[in-house]
Amino acid sequence: MPTMKAWQASAYGAEGNPADTIANLKLADVEIPSAGAGQIQVKVSHAALNPIDWKLFSGGLHGICPCTFPYVPGFDILGEVTAVGEGAYLRQHARRAFGRFCRSQNDHETTRRGARFRP
């Protein structure tokens, strides 16, 4: 199966320190997830670290939003649509996507939520 590069965190920061997690991020090869039913696949060119990532890295949200490790950070993305799953709606010429994506159980698979698409 084809792979992609992804930054991964392996544990919560020591004593709740998110900077510890960020200092220990590793660049790894991970399998490229396919677009399932109702999903699109986006080749990400840009991703952002946001305050939610810092909170997740600290373990402070473990009770309501636990990380599964290895964890791939980044909720906001920009990229090119590379595949459209069965039943997913995408305008005929829309190929660039940006937006905030929510996580599924597999941390580097995402579902569309509030995404915008540009032709």
Containing domain of residue 88, as a range?
A: 3-118
pTM over 0.85: no
Confidence of residue 103 (pLDDT cuts 50, 70, 90): low
Which tens digits make up the pLDDT trace of 46-92? 888 888 888 888 888 888 878 888 988 877 888 888 888 888 877 66
Q: Which residue is it, tokens 């929510």?
A: 102
Q: Which residue is it, tokens 């920009």?
A: 78
Domains held by the chain: number: 1
Angle at 91 between CA 86 and CA 96, to 5 degrees: 95
Angle at 34 between CA 9 and CA 64, to 5 degrees: 40
> How far is residue 41's CA from residue 36's CA, in Å, rounded to a whole number?
9
The DSSP call for residue 69 is S
> How far is residue 37's CA from residue 85's CA, in Å, rounded to a whole number?
5
Q: Which residue is it, tokens 């544990």?
A: 11
Alpha carbons within 13 A on the beta-carbon side of 72: 25
CATH number at residue 20: 3.90.180.10
CA proximity to 109, closest of 44, 23, 22: 44
